[in-house]
Structure 1
Amino acid sequence: MPSNSHFANCLTADKTDKEQKSESSEVLINDILCSSTSRYLITEFNGEGRFGKVAKGMNINKLQDVALKILKAEKTARREIKMLEVVSILDPVKKNVVQFFEKFKHKEHTCLVFELLDKSLFQLFKERHWRPLSPSAIRPITHQLLTALDALKGIGVIHSDLKPDNIMLANHLTEPFRVKLIDFGLSFTTLNKKCGMRLQPLGYRAPEVTLGLPISEAIDMWGLGCVLGFLYLAIHPFAIHCEYQSMRGIVDTLGQPADHLLCAGNYTHKFFKDNLDQALSPDGKAEGSAVPRSNDGVKNMPHSSDGAEAAAEIDATGSAVEDSAVSQGAASPAEGTSANGGSPDEGPPGAR
C-alpha cells in the first residue's frame, strides 16, 4: 500500500508541473509576441487584474507603440472579443472610443492589441493630489463621453463599467482633456440584457441595478453622472465598499425611489422594509410604502443595527464583495497604465 509520503510526493510533482507550465507560458518584458501580421515587443507592464495583464509594447513591423491586453481566461477573452468586434464599427476618433487593432493567441493567452493612450482620469487625479477639475475642464470631457455613449446606444451596446479608470486621456500634453472610453470586457448588447443582472462598480452603480429592476442604456448615463461628480468633487459620489451604504447615499442625496419601483425590484428587500401601516387594496393586495431597513430611516442612520445586518447580508451573498471585485479588479485594455488605478483602497481622501 502506498505511503502517505508517496501521495504527498505525487501531489508536489503535479503542482510543480502545473507551476512550470504556467511559468513557461508567462509573458515577460522583452518577449516578442507574434500575430499573423505583426510582431510585438513587450517593453513594460502597466498593471494586472483578475483577468489578465496590461502591457505597453511596440509593433516592430510598423514601429508603432501599442497597448496589449493579455488575457488569462478563454471565456473572458471570447466575451470581450465579441463586444470589441461590435464596437469596432464605430469611428474611434469621432466617437471617442479606444481603437482596437487585432487579436491573436500567444501560447495559452489571448492577446488584444489597442492604440496606446496616455493615462486614466483616476491616475490624473492621483497626480493632482485629488484636486478637483474646473467646470471648464469637465465640460469637454462630458461632451466627448456623451458622444461615445450615444454612439454605443446607436449600436445597441451597454458599457456597464463606467468609472474614472475606464476613461483615458489620449495625450494630455498635446491634447488636454481629449478622452476615450475603454474596457468593453463587461459590456453587453441590449438584446442580452436581463432583469436582475449584477453590473457596474459600486459607487457608480445605478439604483435600478441595485434594486433588481429592468435595465437599459440609462445605467450608463447614471455612471457618467457619477463620474462627473467625481471630477468636480474629487471623491467617489457614493460608497464603494458596501452596496447597502451606497443605496443609503443615493436615498440621502436624491430621495427614496417611488413605491411602485421598490415593489417591482427583485432585491428591494435587502435595502427596504415594508411599512407596518399597510392597507389592503380593493383587489386584496397589500398597499403601503416601503421604508428603509432602519428604525431611524436612511437619512439618520449612522450606525443602525438593522443597517449593519442588512449590509452584512448583502456582503455575505457576494453582491457587494464579488461584484466589486469583478468591476474593480478586471484589467482595463491598458491603453495606458490604469489596470489597478481604480482600486477602492487607493481612493481619494474622504471617499465614502
Structure 2
Amino acid sequence: MGNSSHTATRLGIDWWLLFPLAVLTGLGLIMVLSASGVMAEKFWNTPYHFITRQSLFAGLGLCIMLATSRLSPSCLHALHYPLLAGSLVLLALTLLPVVAVKAGGASRWINLGFFSLQPLEVAKVALVFYLAYFFSRKQDRIKTFRIGFVPPFMTTGIMCALLLVQPDFGGAMFLVMILFLFCLVGGTRFSYLAISSIMALGLATVLVMTSPYRFRRWFAFLDPFKDAQDSGYQLVQSLYGFGAGGWLGVGLGAGRQKLFFLPEAHNDFILAVLGEELGFVGVSLVIVLMGIILWRCVVIALNQKDMQDRFLAFGAGLIIILGAILNMAVVLAVAPPKGVAFPFLSYGGSNMLTSFFCMGILLNLSRRGSRAR
C-alpha cells in the first residue's frame, strides 16, 4: 500500500483520489440528466435545465478544488475562525424572510440571485476547520472539562440551534455526528462522550415526539408500507426503484420512478434512480468508488506530520464519506429521511461546491504528505 500510495502522488497529483472523483462526477451528471429531464421539460420547457446548472456547478467546483489544492499551509490553517464566523452569519440570515428561501415549510437557503446557497454546507466545512484547529492545539488539555469539552460542544450547539430554528433536524444531526467522531479520535474523555450522547439522544427524542411532522417521518421509516400513499410514499417509491433494477438495471434513461413517482428524483433520492436504471452493478460501482476515496482519506491523514493537517484531512474526508453513508441509509430505508445529498451525484450547487472544496483540501494535503515522505 505504501508503494502504490507513493506512485499515486509521485508527480504531486493523487490519481487514486482524482479517478473516483472524475467517475462519480461524470456519473452524477449523467444521472441528473436522466432523473430530471421529464420534470425539467414540464416546468422549464427544456429537459436540460437542471443538467445545465449542475454542469456549471461542477465546473465552478473544479476551479475551487484546483485553487484549494494549491493553498499554502498557513492559508489553510488561518481559515478556521473566518469560516466559523461566516457560517454563523449565514445560518442567522436564513431567519430573515428578506433573503431566505422557504421551501417545504423550512428556510434553509439564502437567495443569491443566480442560485440559492444552503448555509449548512458552509457550516460543515467551518466546523471541521474549527475542530481540526481546536483538537490539534488543545491536546495537552483535551481531557479537561472546561478546556477540552465545553468550547467545541458549545460552538457546535450554537450552530445546531440555528439549524433547528430553520428547521433542519437532519442538518443538526450531521454536525453532531462530525463533533462526536472528532471527539472520538481527538481524545475526549469517554465519560463526557457517553453523558453527552445520552443527553443528545434524549433531546432528539423530545424533538421527534413534539413535532407531528418528524413523528410521522419516524414511523414511516419504521414501516413505510403501512402508509405508502402519504408519509411512507417516498421511501416506498425508492425501494420500488431498487427492486425493479435487479442486477443490471432496466437501462440508462428507461427508469419509471423518475416519472413523477419518486418526488425530486434528481436530488436526495438520485441513488434510487441509479439503482433502477443501472442495477446492483451500478450501485456497487458507486460504493467501490467511495471506498477508494475513504482509503485515500485514511492514508492522507496518516501521512501528515502536522496534527492540524491530520485532523483536517480526517474532517474533509468525513464530510464526503458521512454524506454518502447517510444518503445510502436513507434511500435504502435503513435510516429516517434526513435530506442528505449524495456527494457528486445529487443535484445541488451548495453540496457540489462543498464536496469539491473538501477534495481540494485532500489533494493539497496528499501532495504535502507525499513530499514529507
Could you state the TM-score of these two structures normalised by the residue count of structure 1? 0.28
Higher relative contact order (CA 8 A, sep 6+): 2
Q: Which has the larger radius of gyration?
A: 1
Could you state the TM-score of these two structures normalised by the residue count of structure 2? 0.27
Normalized per residue, the structure richer in strand is 1
